[in-house]
Amino acid sequence: MKENFFKLVSPNKIIFFLSWFLCFSIALPHTILPGKAGFISLLVFTLWVLEGNLKTKIRILYNSKLFLSVFAFIFALSLSMLWTEYTHIGLVRLSAFKYYLFLIPVLITSLTRKQALDLLRAFVLGILLHAFFIILFHFKLINMYGNITLYSPYSVYAPFFVFSSFYCLFYSRSNFNNKNIIRGFVYLFCSLVLIYIIFTNNGRSGQIAFICSAILALVLLHKNWQQTTIYFTITAALIATISLSSLTVKSTSNSALHEIEQILKGNYYGSWGARWGLLVTNYEVIKQNPVFGVGLGDTQDEMHRVIARGKNQASYSIAYYDGSHNHYITILTSAGIIGFILYITIHVFLFRLPIKHKETKYLSLIFLTILIITSIADDILIYKPYNIYFAIMIALFINLSLGKKHT
C-alpha cells in the first residue's frame, strides 16, 4: 500500500499531472487562474532537479540542437542588454520569457513519448472547450461572469485555434484510414468547429496562418489525392461560406483593402499601414546597427530618433506604437544579424527534427508554419500565453523526436 502510494506521488507523476493541467488551462481564456503558469513552471523544475539523474538529462539536452538554439537566441537577446541605454525597458521585454523556459528541459527529459502525446491532446482539449464557450456565448446560450473574456487578444489565441484545427484534421484522416469511422467524424467535426472560430473573428494573422498551413497540409497529404480533395473541398466550402456571410470577415477585409490603398498613397493608416510604417522606420535603425543591433531596450528610442530626423509626416502617426509589431524586425533592431540568424536556426532545427510518427511530424511542421507567419504579424514571443505555448511545443516536439530510447 505504501509503495503504491509513493509510485502514485513520484516526482515524475506529479510533473506529468501538473504539466497536463498547464497545457489544458493555457488554452482557456487567459483570465482564468492567472499566475498558474509561473507557479507550475517553477514547481515542475524543482521536482525535475529532485528527481535526480541530472547527468543523463543534461546529456540529452546537450545533444539537442533545437534546445541549444533556443537558449542561444535568448542569450543573444540578454547579451544585447550590455549596450542598451534603457536597461529597464530591456529587462521588461526580456522578462516575457521568465521562468517558462524552465518547462523546456523538464518536458524534454522527464516525460515518456506517451505522456508527451497526452500533453498535446490536453492542449487541444482546452482549445476545443474554449471554442465551444465562444459558440455558446455568441448565440447567447451562456453568460461569462467577472473578468473572463473569450478569444482575447486575437493575435495570441488565433495560432492556438489554427494548430488545434490541424491536429483534429490529421487525426480525423488517421482514424478514417484505420476504419475508426465514428472517431474520424468526431475529429473532423471538431476541426470544422475550430475553422469556424478562426474565420469569424478579427485575428487576420490567424486566418493567414491557417491558409498557409492548409497549403502545407495539401502537400503533406498528397499521396492520397482522393481523400485529400474531399477534406479540402469541405474546408474551402466552409471558409467561403463563412467569408461570404460573416459581417466580421467582410469588415476586416474592407478595412484591409482601405489600409492598402492608404499605404500606396504614403499614409500609415490602420493596422496594416502602421505595420508598414514601422517596417520602413525600423529599416533605418537596422542600417545603422546591422550586426549587433541597438540593444533590447533601445529599439523604441531609436525609432523615435529616426522619425524626428525624417521629413515624412506620415511617420509621426506611428510614434506612439510600442514595438515594431514584427518579431523579425524586433530581433534585427535589438540583436542585429547575429540574433536574427540564431532565431532562424530555431526554425531550421525544428524543421529537421527526426520525428518518426507521421501525424506528429506533420504537426511540428504546422507549428513551424504558424510561428513563421505570426512572427511577421506581431512581436509574438513576448506575449502571454504565446510564450508559454512556444516553450511547451518546442519541448514536446524535441521529446517526440528522441526515439525509442526515451519511451
Instruction: Tell me the pLDDT tens digit for each residue of 327-375.
Output: 999 999 999 999 999 999 999 999 999 999 888 999 999 999 999 999 9
Q: Where are the domains of the chain?
A: 2-253+325-406
Residue 124 is placed in which grid cell?
487541444
Residue 48 and residue 222: Cα distance in Å, rounded?
42
DSSP 56-91: HHHHHHHT-HHHHHHHHHHHHHHHGGGG-S-HHHHH
Average pLDDT on 54-72 reads 94
Report the half-sphere exposure of 28 (CA within 13 A, side-chain side). Answer: 18
Cα 405 to the chain's mean position, in Å?
29
> Can you list the alpha helix ranges (DSSP code H) found in 95-203?
103-109, 113-138, 154-177, 181-198
The pTM of this model reads: 0.88
Instruction: Tell me the pLDDT tens digit for each residue of 370-394.
Output: 999 999 888 888 888 888 999 999 9
**Contact by Cβ (8 Å): 276, 329:** no
Residue 213 is placed in which grid cell?
498551413
Q: For a pLDDT cut of 70, what percent of the chain falls above it?
A: 80
Instruction: Tell me the pLDDT tens digit for each residue of 34-58.
Output: 778 889 999 999 999 988 889 999 9
pLDDT of 406 reads 45
The phi-psi region of residue 133 (left if phi > 0; otherwise alpha if psi is between -120 and 50; otherwise beta) is: alpha
| Per-residue CA distances from 400 to 26, 277, 352, 353 (Å) | 21, 41, 13, 9
pLDDT at residue 208 above 80?
Answer: yes
Q: Tell me which H or E stretch contains 400.
A: helix 386-400
**Contact by Cβ (8 Å): 277, 317:** yes
> Mean pLDDT of all residues in the chain?
83
Instruction: Tell me the pLDDT tens digit for each residue of 113-154.
Output: 999 999 999 999 999 998 888 888 777 777 665 555 665 556
Structure confidence at residue 255 as a pLDDT band (50, 70, 90) = low
**Dihedral sign (CA 373, 376, 382, 384):** negative
Average pLDDT on 25-38 reads 79
**Contact by Cβ (8 Å): 103, 41:** yes
Residue 189 and residue 373: Cα distance in Å, rounded?
26
For residue 344, how many other CB atoms are within 10 A of its CB?
Answer: 15
Q: Which is higher by pLDDT, 213 or 316?
A: 213
The residue written with cell numbers 482557456 in the block is: 28
Radius of gyration of the chain (CA): 22
Residue 36, SS3?
Answer: helix
**Contact by Cβ (8 Å): 97, 74:** yes
Average pLDDT on 72-92 reads 89
